[in-house]
Amino acid sequence: MKKGLLILLCSLFVSLTLSCGGGKNVKKETVEKNPNKGQATGYATIFDNDTALARDRATDDAKSKLVRKVLGETISGRSIMKDFELVANIVEAKSYGLVKNIELIKKWQEGNEYYVTIEGLVEPSVIEDAIEDALNRYGRPKFMVLINEKFDNKTNMPGFTETELIIQEIMGNSGFQFVDAAMIQQLMKKERSKMSKAASGSVSEDVQDLLLDDAGAEVLIIGTAETKSQGAKTLSSYGAGNMKSKSAIIRIKAIDIYTGNILASISRQAPGLHIESETASKKAIEAALRQIIGGNDYDTGKFKAGPFMKTIVDKFVKAANKREIKLFITGLDRAELKNFKDQVKNRIRGVSEVLEKGREGRAARLEVLFAGKTNDFEDELSAKANQLGYEIDIKSSRPNKLTLTAKFIKK
């Protein structure tokens, strides 16, 4: 028995030794066949002989191309591909560490271009985490809800309506954040004029300041909810004459407070049934809102976004990754302004485009498309101004607007 056990242990030891001895070859073969691993070459233009910056930009470009390549080849058709443009924007705009085990294969320079070839691993789970992170940063902004509500001709003003509460409950369960109802009620009392403008969809500068700075809201949901009685005779014929049937129609839209642009608008109608009239109205509103916003999936138990929420998330994320920042700049002649635009576009991380919207003398209006918020761009611009060759003085800063003077530094 002992001898047999000894033989078995020896056999196992030999097997393990052989496995370990060939482990490197097995691992290498697995990695080589791993569809999530690949190579990509990126490039960037060299400015002011700054090869270090060009190398970083070329590496980022290579990472972006590798992620696109691996995603396209390995998980096409999966739900994650619905967020492919989001993934692309994330990779191009931010460093999320989507590529793992990076190896530098080759780097070289051709004229004013710097090239980098890398090899790396892109796991779908890492991409999913990146999407979740991006949604938390950009796609799940803080909401303020202002709904005019009418229950059987009884009007409830914005601030604490049943519709607002139901919206916050449904969206809150999936991680979306809201301005506290108590703060909204306080603002409705102290800032009635501005809040009335907000409820009507007018996001003027004073309203923008109030909502963004004081309340911390980034997206405003406004609209109307109305319930009416229906089907009393039909209910009676079915022996349910004591039940109350209500129909709710909801019309809402979402506004990006940074820009005042409408992100989404929708209208839905649904019925509700209960022995109490008010509860039937609430059920009708909830049914309509679940068509609009979404709710928990019966099969997975996870939140499944409705058309309204999908549109908000998609548009807000795109806006956040290419946010329009208006620059009013003075102090530069035509040649200096052109150089300034080129420098900002190519050397400020997160900038995808700089457009000229008008110029008169040494004053000009520019539009910068930036992946982030205005204060992020302001900080980056101020920190790199001397490297860009300019003295910068920020005169005023608003959520999507900067006023500044610039002076070209002669070398």
Q: Decide: 392 and 330 in contact? Cβ < 8 Å.
A: no
pLDDT grade, residue 170 (50/70/90)? confident
From the number of C-beta atoms within 10 Å of its C-beta (0-12, 13-18, 19+), residue 25 rates as exposed
At 199-222, the pLDDT tens digits run 999 998 899 889 988 888 889 999
The CATH superfamily holding the domain 34-137 is FlgT, N-terminal domain (3.30.1660.40)
- Cβ atoms within 10 Å, residue 14: 10
Residues near 322 by beta carbon (within 8 Å), at least 6 away in sequence: 89, 352, 353, 369, 370, 371
At 269-287, the pLDDT tens digits run 998 888 888 888 889 999 9
| Among 43-52, 231-240, 251-260, 288-297, the least confident range | 231-240
**What local confidence, expressed as pLDDT, does residue 1 receive?**
39
**What local confidence, expressed as pLDDT, does residue 31 receive?**
41
Q: How far apart are CA 45 and CA 58, in angstroms?
A: 8
45 DSSP β-pair partners = 113
What value does the mean pLDDT take over residues 285-295?
88
At 113-162, the pLDDT tens digits run 999 999 988 876 666 666 666 555 555 678 999 999 988 778 888 887 88
Is residue 300's pLDDT more than 80?
no
95 vs 231 pLDDT, higher one: 231
**What local confidence, expressed as pLDDT, does residue 95 receive?**
45
- Helices 307-321 and 84-93, axial angle in degrees (round to 10): 20
**CA distance readout (Å), 319 to 206, 212, 219, 365, 375:** 22, 16, 12, 20, 15
262 DSSP β-pair partners = 255
Q: How far apart are CA 287 and CA 291, in angstroms?
A: 7
As its CATH architecture, domain 322-408 has 2-Layer Sandwich (3.30)
The CATH number of 140-319 is 3.40.50.10610
Give the whole-number percent of the chain exceeding pLDDT 70.
75
What value does the mean pLDDT take over residues 350-373?
89
At 185-204, the pLDDT tens digits run 899 989 999 999 999 999 98
Q: How far apart are CA 79 and CA 254, in angstroms?
A: 25
Q: How far apart are CA 4 and CA 9, in angstroms?
A: 9
What value does the mean pLDDT take over residues 18-34?
43
Q: How far apart are CA 131 and CA 344, in angstroms?
A: 27
Element (H, E) at 309: helix 307-321
pLDDT grade, residue 397 (50/70/90)? confident
The domain ranges of the chain are 34-137, 140-319, 322-408
**What local confidence, expressed as pLDDT, does residue 13 receive?**
31
Q: How far apart are CA 210 and CA 216, in angstroms?
A: 8
**What local confidence, expressed as pLDDT, does residue 78 receive?**
45
Q: How far apart are CA 170 and CA 290, in angstroms?
A: 8
Indicate the average pLDDT of the chain. 79
Is residue 3's pLDDT more than 50?
no
pLDDT grade, residue 29 (50/70/90)? very low
Q: Decide: 213 and 137 in contact? Cβ < 8 Å.
A: no
At 61-112, the pLDDT tens digits run 898 788 777 766 554 444 444 445 555 555 555 445 678 888 999 999 999 9
**What local confidence, expressed as pLDDT, does residue 27 receive?**
39
Q: How far apart are CA 58 and CA 105, in angstroms?
A: 13
229 vs 394 pLDDT, higher one: 394
Q: How far apart are CA 68 and CA 88, in angstroms?
A: 7
**What local confidence, expressed as pLDDT, does residue 12 receive?**
33
9 vs 385 pLDDT, higher one: 385
**What local confidence, expressed as pLDDT, does residue 347 receive?**
87
Q: Which tokens belong to 244?
A: 């109350």
Residues near 279 by beta carbon (within 8 Å), at least 6 away in sequence: 244, 272
**What local confidence, expressed as pLDDT, does residue 324 receive?**
84
Q: How far apart are CA 106 and CA 145, in angstroms?
A: 53
Is residue 22's pLDDT more than 70?
no
**What local confidence, expressed as pLDDT, does residue 228 receive?**
87
Which long-range CB contacts under 8 A does 104-111 form with residues at least 24 apart?
A: 105/39, 106/41, 107/55, 107/58, 109/46, 109/51
**What local confidence, expressed as pLDDT, does residue 70 receive?**
74
Q: Which tokens belong to 120?
A: 């790396």
**What local confidence, expressed as pLDDT, does residue 266 receive?**
92
